[in-house]
Structure 1
């Protein structure tokens, strides 16, 4: 099983960051490469579309409002992975109440692709996503 993790300091308080990203169906609010998200199964599943019209189905696995994180699994996607589990988390930054550290991490099994290629794919997705979040909150 492979894994990757990316983190970025965001110039906003943790509560403000979590307010934007903490909803499982909120990706289109800050992530430009996900223009639409439709909640299903009472909000436990989200149906995402990317700009190419491809569908990504993800299931919420764990959620904590108090600890500001959620974890999700991919049910269907155009990515060469299986057993995918990812977590998006907002951390406080000691001594800096107007900053947050956001961490996006995942573990997965490469399917019909090299492990290095899949790690690079998700590292890039996470980095681009956190860069977009930084821009949205700057």
Structure 2
């Protein structure tokens, strides 16, 4: 099993950040490469479509509104990994917030380093996109 994570500090309260990212179906609101997200199974499943037409299906595994965190697994995606589980978390950091996006997975047909690099890029790019929604 491999793992990677990324974080970013944002000059906004945890409540403000969580309001934007805390909905499991809210990725298109802050992640520009996700064109749309459709929910199913009472909100526990999301079908994402990227701007290039790629489809990714993810399942909500845990959700803690008070703790401002949720975890999800991949049901279907073109990524060369299995057993994927990721967590998105918002925590107080000084006068603002720290958002951490982390994941664990088993590489499939690629090296551990290549899989870690792939998801580190996804997480870092996604967090940079999130940060752009909070000027200051």
TM bucket normalised to smaller = over 0.9
Matched residue, 1:46? 46
Q: Find the counterpart in structure 1 of residue 36 from structure 2.
A: 36
> What 5-or-longer segments of structure 2 have no aligned partner?
none
SS of equivalent residue, structure 1 residue 85: strand
Give the whole-Å Cα distance in 1 for the aligned partners of 2:66 and 2:42. 21
RMSD of equivalent CA atoms: 0.7
- Give the Å deviation of 1:51: 1.5
Measured in 1, the distance between the counterparts of 2:127 and 2:55 equals: 21
> 1:102 corresponds to which residue?
99
Which residue number in structure 2 is paired with residue 127 of structure 1? 124
Cα drift, residue 66 of structure 1: 0.4
* TM-score for the superposition, normalised by structure 2: 0.97
Is 1:2 aligned to residue 2 of structure 2?
Answer: yes
State the alpha-carbon separation in 2 of the partners of residues 35 and 116 from structure 1.
29
- SS of 1:123's partner is helix
User: What does the per-residue CA deviation read over 1:29-67, in whole Å, with 9 as the maximum and x for residues that have no partner?
Assistant: 000111100001111000001122111000000000000
Distance in 1 (alpha carbons) for counterparts of 2:116 and 2:108: 12
User: Which segments of structure 1 move beyond 2 Å, counting only runs of 4 or more?
Assistant: none
CA distance in 2, matches of 1:54, 1:134: 24
1:18-37 paired onto structure 2 within 5 Å: 18-37=18-37
Please say which of residues 106-115 and 21-30 is displaced more in the overlay: 106-115
Q: CA deviation at 1:136?
A: 1.2
**What TM-score results when the alignment is normalised by the length of structure 1?**
0.96
Pairwise CA distance, 1:125: 0.3
**Residue in structure 1 matched with residue 74 of structure 2 by the alignment:** 74
The runs of 5 or more residues in structure 1 that have no matched partner are none
Measured after TM superposition, the shift of residue 75 of structure 1 is: 0.4
Equivalent in the alignment of 2:14: 14
User: How many pairs were matched up?
Assistant: 135
